[in-house]
């Protein structure tokens, strides 16, 4: 039996659960675009824009009665960064309130500093100015755009 034939059994052995972060696959850095183009020469491929933000894995679970436990954001190092992004948590909670069919999900996303007035993405350094502790949503000057790129888990 080939390795690829085991794909159907993967879900029986690998389980993910809302509230427990999943180790993300990270891209390998390259020394230049020419190396990438050589590697894919003659092969059809697609690329996506590289956002300069914070990689966040967003977990939401409607069944948690305690609002402090229903939504979390984890870093690529699996660190709980929820306290730094109360605005993102509120957006996810609103998404859940507005869509009663949503029970739970895990979204892999890039959280990007965004200038609403000028409709432009801000540098990563703008995000790093946020405190990692004791963040009050009313004190936040920097708005966040959520660039979701993968839905890892949805409604169990």
Note whether 24 and 55 are within 8 A (CB): yes
Note whether 78 and 16 are within 8 A (CB): no
List, in order, residues 6 or more apart from 142 with CB less than 8 Å away.
113, 114, 122, 126, 127, 129, 130
24-44: burial string, b at 16+ Cβ within 10 Å, e else:
beeeeeeeeeeeeeeeeeeee
User: What is the set of active-site residues?
Assistant: 50
Distance CA 1, CA 68 (A): 47
Joined together, the tokens standing for residue 80 give 């709980």
The partner residues of 71 in beta bridges, in order of sequence, read: 60
Helices vs. strands in the chain: H and E counts, helices first: 4, 5
């Amino acid at each position: 039996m080939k390795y690829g034939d085991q794909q159907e059994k993967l879900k029986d052995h690998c389980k993910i659960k809302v509230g427990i972060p999943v180790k993300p696959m990270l891209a390998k850095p390259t020394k230049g675009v020419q190396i990438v183009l050589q590697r894919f020469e003659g092969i059809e491929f697609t690329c996506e824009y590289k956002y300069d933000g914070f990689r966040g894995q967003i977990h939401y679970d409607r069944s948690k009665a305690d609002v402090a436990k229903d939504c979390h954001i984890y870093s690529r190092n699996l660190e709980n960064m929820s306290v730094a992004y109360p605005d993102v948590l509120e957006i996810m909670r609103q998404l859940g309130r507005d869509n009663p069919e949503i029970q739970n999900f895990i979204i892999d996303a890039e959280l990007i500093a965004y200038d609403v007035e000028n409709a432009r993405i801000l540098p990563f350094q703008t995000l790093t100015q946020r405190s990692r502790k004791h963040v009050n949503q009313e004190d936040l000057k920097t708005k966040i755009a959520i660039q979701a790129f993968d839905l890892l888990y949805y409604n169990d």
